[in-house]
């Protein structure tokens, strides 16, 4: 058993474990098919149980069990030796350092989704039926293909700072522009609260393409008879946008806003890659990692994970409801 759990750094050992895992998976699936196919007239519930049952067991083992374990750990000390009640939660809501983390998280949730959705909506309206519509949309959608870590590295080079000394050239795009204009280079990622907003730019840059794509499709789905009736009533320009476009795509707007909000709540890659949570930029997702794996404080890390889970649940429920409403409207 120890041989299976401890692969070490041996590539051959890891490859062999992979082969064993594949063989076991094929064997289990073959056994399930054999059992389900054996009865002559199996009921629908029997067939459904045969295929869904293993998946539910895996979900329980991979999601439910760890979730319960995390909740239990959140009421224990850093080494999970004894229960301390709500002490970890009390610290999360009283310690100035953690209050800053919660404040940063709230700032991300309020600002990043709103700006990404707004920019995507305006862009979708502006380029709709334009001459270069496909090219313009592809240009904004391209960052969606870049991972969070990759985008963070790109923008870290944009914000890069070098001392203002003779013979030293700026490698950061923004600081180079500032120097060309006669200014002095700025350490963008060190000064708060501006550094938090500069980190948000990365997420907005990525998510604007997502919001633009969904909202553009929703705008195109507005019935032409509604648009023509509005034009006959004298609406045009901003009036058409405010009175016809916005109400017609409201369900899609809410879905986009809440989806980006969920992504924002879980943002870890950007903060970790660009600042590692230093200089007052940490958020709940990053602090959960920091406390659990760097500070070895399992209790506080679990409490932060539970808080993040509690915050995300209402957003998910609201998002699902709005998606159902959007489907009913269609």
Best mean pLDDT range from 9-18, 38-47, 130-139, 228-237: 130-139
By three-state DSSP, how is residue 250 classified? helix
Residue 136 in this model has a pLDDT that exceeds 90: no
Q: pLDDT band at 328, cuts 50/70/90?
A: low
In angstroms, the CA 124 to CA 220 distance is 10
Two structure tokens written together for 313:
């649940």
For residues 228 and 245, the answer to whether their CB atoms sit within 8 Å is: no
- Reported in sequence order, the residue ranges of the chain that DSSP labels E, i.e. its strands, are none
How many other CB atoms are there within 10 angstroms of residue 279's CB atom? 15
Q: What is the pLDDT of residue 9?
A: 67
Digit-coded pLDDT (tens) for 104-116: 999 999 999 999 9
Between 70 and 319, the higher pLDDT residue: 70
Shortest CA distance to 264 belongs to which of 323, 319, 191? 319
Percent of the chain with pLDDT over 90: 19
Burial of residue 172, with CB atoms counted within 10 A of its CB: 0-12 exposed, 13-18 middle, 19 or more buried: buried
Q: Residue 237 region, left (φ>0) first, then alpha (ψ -120 to 50), else beta? A: left
Output the CA torsion 315→316→317→319 (10° steps).
80
The pLDDT of 252-260, averaged and rounded, is 88
Predicted TM-score (pTM) of this structure: 0.81
Rounded Cα distance, 143 and 148, in Å = 9
155 falls in which pLDDT band (50, 70, 90)? very high
DSSP 3-state of 76: strand
The phi and psi torsions of 15 (rounded to 5 degrees) equal: -65, -40
pLDDT at position 211 is 93
* Nearest partner of 323 among 201, 218, 231, judged by Cα: 218
pLDDT value, residue 208: 94
Euclidean distance between the first and final Cα of the chain, in Å?
54
Q: Which two tokens stand for residue 118?
A: 């707004």
Q: Which of 253, 269, 273 is nearest to 261 (CA)?
A: 253
Alpha-carbon radius of gyration of the chain: 26
CA 160/CA 170 separation, integer angstroms: 8
Element (H, E) at 47: helix 44-59
Please name the residues in contact with 75: beta carbons below 8 A apart, sequence gap of 6 or more. 83, 84, 85, 86, 88, 299
Within 8 A by CB and 6+ apart from 125, the residues are 219, 241, 245
Q: Are 189 and 97 in contact (CB under 8 A)?
A: no
pLDDT score for 114: 93
Average pLDDT over residues 126-141: 85
Instruction: Please tell me the predicted confidence (pLDDT) of residue 199.
Output: 94
Res 322: pLDDT: 73
DSSP 286-312: HHHHIIIIIS--HHHHHHHHHHHHHHH
Q: Are 189 and 195 within 8 A, CB to CB?
A: yes
């Amino acid at each position: 058993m120890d041989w299976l759990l401890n692969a070490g750094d041996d590539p051959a050992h890891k490859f062999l474990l992979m082969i064993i895992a594949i063989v076991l998976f094929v064997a289990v699936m073959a056994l399930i098919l054999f059992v389900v196919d054996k009865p002559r007239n199996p009921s629908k519930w029997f067939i459904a149980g045969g295929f869904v049952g293993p998946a539910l067991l895996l979900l329980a083992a991979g999601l439910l069990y760890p979730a319960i374990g995390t909740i239990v750990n959140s009421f224990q000390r850093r080494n999970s030796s004894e229960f301390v009640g709500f002490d970890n939660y009390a610290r999360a809501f009283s310690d100035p350092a953690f209050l800053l983390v919660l404040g940063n998280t709230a700032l991300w949730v309020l600002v990043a989704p709103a700006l990404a959705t707004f920019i995507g909506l305006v862009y979708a309206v502006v380029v709709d039926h334009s001459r270069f519509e496909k090219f313009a949309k592809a240009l904004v959608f391209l960052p969606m293909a870049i991972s969070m870590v990759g985008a963070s590295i790109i923008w870290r080079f944009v914000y890069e700072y070098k001392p203002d000394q003779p013979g030293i050239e700026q490698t950061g795009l923004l600081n180079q522009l500032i120097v060309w204009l006669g200014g002095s280079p700025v350490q963008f990622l060190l000064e708060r609260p501006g550094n938090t907003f500069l980190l948000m730019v990365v997420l907005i840059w990525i998510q604007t393409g997502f919001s633009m794509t969904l909202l553009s499709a929703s705008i195109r789905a507005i019935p032409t008879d509604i648009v023509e009736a509005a034009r006959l009533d004298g609406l045009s320009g901003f009036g058409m946008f405010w009175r016809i476009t916005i109400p017609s795509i409201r369900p899609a707007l809410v879905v986009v806003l809440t989806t980006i909000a969920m992504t924002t709540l879980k943002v870890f890659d950007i903060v970790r890659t660009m600042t590692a949570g230093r200089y007052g930029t940490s958020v709940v997702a990053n602090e959960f990692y920091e406390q659990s794996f760097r500070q070895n404080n399992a209790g506080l890390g679990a409490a932060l994970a539970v808080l993040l889970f509690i915050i995300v649940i209402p957003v998910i429920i609201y998002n699902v409801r709005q998606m159902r409403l959007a489907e009913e409207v269609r």
